[in-house]
Amino acid sequence: MTDFPFDIVGFDLDGTLLDTALDLGHALNHALVHIGRPAIPVGEARRFIGGGTGQMLRTALAESGGPGDLDVPALQDVLVDFYATNIARHTRLFPGGEAMLDALAARGVRLAVATNKREDLARCLFGELGLTSRFATIIGGNTLGPGTAKPAPDMLHAMVEQCGGGRAAFVGDTTFDVGAARAAGMPVVAVRFGFCDLPPDELGADAVIDHFGDLLPALEALG
């Protein structure tokens, strides 16, 4: 099938393709308990997620008394080391994700990931879940160097280049994703089931979906 309006569809990872909240929540609590701070209810972890592990940790520290004189980068290493060892205990594709990826691939669409998660962690996670081969490229927050993470457009420009060029759209769940897509000049779809840092309909996306079964029709309408 060749009549689909986009050659490339890119995805955010946390809260868009994958529900990573429980595994990230356990890693965040490991770091907080390490410095004597109270753990958060793991079900609340999703409100801290977005912008990468550094921002997640800084937000949680701010809510639990501030960073003070803590060595925050060293504490982030504690968090990431625990997370890397326990990266896929609870994480899964959101409902409908596998069928959606199959449907896009059947239409000849090149699939990509642009995430503020470190590239090595993203690749480790996709490897654990058997998803790596589905994507033409996986770009992480550290792939291109400082200052290039979303909402900067650099990752999305690189995504298109590494996929061989063509018309692209992006799918995400936060202001980081919508901002990056806007800056890159590409249409963007937001998901209501993610870790949204604003109410989903206030993110400024071109379309908002409730389920991955709605993604292809939304992209066709945008095309």
Task: For 44-62, write each residue's pLDDT tens digit.
Answer: 888 888 777 888 999 999 9
CB 212 within 8 A of CB 100: yes
- Alpha-carbon Rg for the chain, nearest whole angstrom, is 17
Give the mean model confidence (pLDDT) for residues 115-122.
Answer: 94
Q: Which CATH number fits domain 8-19+91-222: 3.30.9.10, 3.40.1110.10, 3.40.50.1000, 1.10.540.10?
A: 3.40.50.1000
The CA-atom distances, in angstroms, between 149 and each of 72, 117, 118 are 19, 9, 10
12 has catalytic annotation: yes
pLDDT of residue 52: 77
29 has a pLDDT exceeding 80: yes
Given the residues 12, 14, 19, 173, select the one marked as catalytic. 12
Where residue 211 falls among pLDDT bands split at 50, 70, 90?
very high
Mean per-residue pLDDT of the chain: 95
Instruction: Give the count of beta carbons closer than 10 Å to the beta carbon of residue 90.
Output: 15
Where residue 43 falls among pLDDT bands split at 50, 70, 90?
confident
Give the mean model confidence (pLDDT) for residues 99-111.
Answer: 98
pLDDT of residue 177: 97
185 has a pLDDT exceeding 70: yes
- DSSP secondary structure letter of residue 91: -
Look at residues 175, 142, 139 and name the one whose alpha carbon lies nearest to residue 157: 139
Look at residues 141, 138, 125 and name the one whose alpha carbon lies nearest to residue 87: 125
pLDDT of residue 2: 59
1 has a pLDDT exceeding 50: no
